[in-house]
């Protein structure tokens, strides 16, 4: 597939089954992720694999974070949602947490470092597509939950850019066609005149002088 074909073929997969990428394939995908544009070579990304043997424990972290958020907001705990949180890390063969750990020396703005990590995440998804795997990038309330961040070893200024799921798209899942026009954004052409509108004609009659 050409690069453009890979970009056009990438979709968020609703369901991912085995097999997932093996360690060599995953390594290549992460190398592709780390080729992202990165102003100042900050290397702000961090990738954390939630291995199958830790998926239940990470699910517990997500579930108790959800329950705590409910207590804080006074919302009743939805048992279905609780079970969904608990099962999240096991819903695909590979669950990766992509985070930004920005350098705070002021040299490169923090928002640019988050942009670099978003670019790395997209590289990861495209590399997965190129290797024949499906992917899904999600965030949700867990991404900004302080207890989830703590469990991942992230600090106050760090942020989860996405939970990335990788695996095989089941045969039965049809490729969702893009709504027409979605992949062809309109482009506005800037002109100098637009930013310098003509001065309105003067209505000053000079009567007060």
Ligand X SMILES: Cc1cc2nc3c(=O)[nH]c(=O)nc-3n(C[C@H](O)[C@H](O)[C@H](O)COP(=O)(O)O)c2cc1C
In 3-state terms the chain splits into helix, strand, coil percentages (rounded to 5) of: 45, 15, 45
State which residue, 22 or 139, has the beta carbon closest to ligand X: 139
Q: Near ligand X by CB under 6 A, which window of 29-37, 38-46, 107-115, 135-143?
A: 135-143
State which residue, 65 or 189, has the beta carbon closest to ligand X: 65
Q: How many CA atoms lie within 13 A of 155 on its CB side?
A: 5
Reference 35, options 96, 98, 119, 133; nearest CA is 119
Asked whether residue 73 is marked as a ligand-binding residue, the answer is no
Our finding on whether 167 is near ligand X (CB under 6 A) is no
Asked whether residue 144 is marked as a ligand-binding residue, the answer is no
Q: Give one DSSP letter per residue of 140-182, joined into a string.
A: SGGGG-HHHHHHTT--TT-EEEEEEEEEBPPTTSPPPPPPTTT
Choose, by CB under 6 A, the member of 137, 147, 152, 158 that binds ligand X: 137
State which residue, 5 or 22, has the beta carbon closest to ligand X: 5
Our finding on whether 12 is near ligand X (CB under 6 A) is yes
Our finding on whether 40 is near ligand X (CB under 6 A) is no
Distance CA 11, CA 119 (A): 16
Q: How far is the CB of 136 from ligand X (least distance, A)?
A: 7
Distance CA 39, CA 35 (A): 12
Annotated binding-site residues for FMN read: 10-12, 39, 137-139
- Which parts of this chain interact with ligand X (CB under 6 A)? 11-12, 137-140, 162
């Amino acid at each position: 597939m050409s690069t453009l074909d890979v970009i056009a073929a990438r979709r968020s997969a609703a369901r991912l089954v085995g097999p997932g990428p093996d360690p060599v394939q995953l390594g290549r995908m992460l190398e592709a992720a780390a080729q992202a544009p990165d102003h100042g070579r900050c290397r702000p990304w961090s990738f954390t694999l939630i291995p199958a043997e830790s998926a239940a424990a990470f699910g517990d972290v997500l579930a108790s974070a959800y329950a705590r958020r409910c207590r804080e907001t006074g919302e009743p705990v939805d048992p279905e949602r609780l079970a969904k949180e608990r099962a999240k890390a096991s819903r695909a063969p590979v669950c990766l947490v992509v985070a930004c750990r920005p350098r705070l020396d002021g040299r490169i703005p923090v928002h640019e470092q988050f942009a670099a990590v978003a670019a790395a995440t997209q590289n990861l998804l495209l590399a997965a597509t190129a290797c024949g795997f499906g992917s899904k990038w999600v965030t949700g309330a867990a991404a900004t939950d302080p207890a989830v961040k703590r469990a991942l070893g992230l600090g106050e200024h760090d942020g989860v850019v996405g939970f990335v799921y990788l695996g095989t798209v089941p045969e039965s899942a049809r490729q969702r066609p893009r709504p027409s026009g979605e992949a062809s954004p309109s482009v506005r052409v800037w002109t100098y005149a637009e930013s310098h509108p003509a001065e309105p004609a003067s209505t000053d009659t000079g009567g007060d002088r």
